[in-house]
Amino acid sequence: MKTAAQLIVDKKNTEVISIAPNRPVIDALIILAEYKIGALVVMDQDRMVGIFSERDYAREVVLKGKSSKITTIEEVMTKNVLVGQGKDTFEKAMTLMTENHIRHLPIMDGHKMIGMLSLGDVAKEMIVYQKNLIKELESYVKA
């Protein structure tokens, strides 16, 4: 079973895509669109201080009538962020995401940010894992 760190290495874009907390929301939206992703890690220097997602934008900017040009990320980001560790299995990451109703999970190696997994990333790996398991079981039954 692959670890969260292995899933990050397997992604086509392995860099940590982030934004500073003092940037306007419009900058985050541009980055999200450019990379075709749903969330950004909010970094203050080398320290994660939050996460900004499309969900944050919808709930904290659009529905509250705020301007994405003058509202800063810090004002609307999720501050209490759940994180996974690189050594965690993808199944543990999926369970954490599902139980907490989150779609994006920053992955740490100790105190260092190594990437972000989406629910889609772990679901895709679960499908591969289950297909391989079925093949192994079929081989066992035929033997």
pLDDT tens profile 97-126: 999 999 999 999 988 899 999 999 999 999
Token pair, residue 99, equals: 């139980």
What confidence tens digit (pLDDT) does each residue in 74-83 have? Answer: 999 999 999 9
Look up the pTM and report it. Answer: 0.87
Rg for the chain (alpha carbons), in Å? 17
Burial of 71 (0-12, 13-18, 19+ CB in 10 A): middle
Is the Cβ–Cβ distance between 55 and 40 less than 8 Å?
A: no
Whole-number Å distance between alpha carbons of 107 and 23: 23
DSSP designation for 15: S
